Structure 1
């Protein structure tokens, strides 16, 4: 089902190296401001890593780095626009003829 077609650590042969590789890939996803779901999908699609492995490593990283992930989730969460409360006129209104 999930075969490692490229040269790299094998989960069964060398689990520590494999988990370190997954951790490194997750860190790259974090640099790209991906959510957990986006990261899981990307690693499954591009690196043939099982979603359960990515999720498990993500959760362990989250446990070990609780404050980092709190700040990370805050930074990637969508924020309401401050200007949405301000009523503005048309941006390019016609000038009055004098």
Structure 2
């Protein structure tokens, strides 16, 4: 039996197994705190999974696990540091040299 993929089951020969494999790989990406686009890129490059397949499985997972994904996206999104960026902005632009 010859597979067109070097990694895991064939999408056409064993679609359920293939989808489960993609789901497992997406879950591994989530453990590494990747966003959707990073996951799609990594699976395309390293597991030869077409982006449309990864995107489709991702969307199904997101539908089935809405609350998990809401919490996940909140946890990986960059957060402001309680206003410290505003208070401690760049100092090189200030002109307090009135004594010249």
Normalising by structure 1, we get a TM-score of 0.82
Backbone CA RMSD of aligned residues: 1.6
Which residue in 2 is equivalent to 1:39? 39
Distance change in 2, residues 1:15/1:84 (3 Å): same
- Alpha-carbon distance in 2 for matches of 1:75, 1:52: 25
Unaligned runs of 5+ in 1: 91-98
- Alpha-carbon distance in 1 for matches of 2:60, 2:19: 11
Which residue in 1 is equivalent to 2:24? 24
Moved over 6 A (4+): none
CA drift of 1:80 comes to 1.2
Which residue in 2 is equivalent to 1:94? none
Secondary structure of 2:70 counterpart: helix
- Alpha-carbon distance in 1 for matches of 2:55, 2:66: 16
Larger deviation, residues 73-82 vs 42-51: 73-82
Which residue in 2 is equivalent to 1:14? 14
Distance change in 2, residues 1:12/1:85 (3 Å): same
- Alpha-carbon distance in 2 for matches of 1:68, 1:13: 31
2:85 is aligned with 1:84: yes
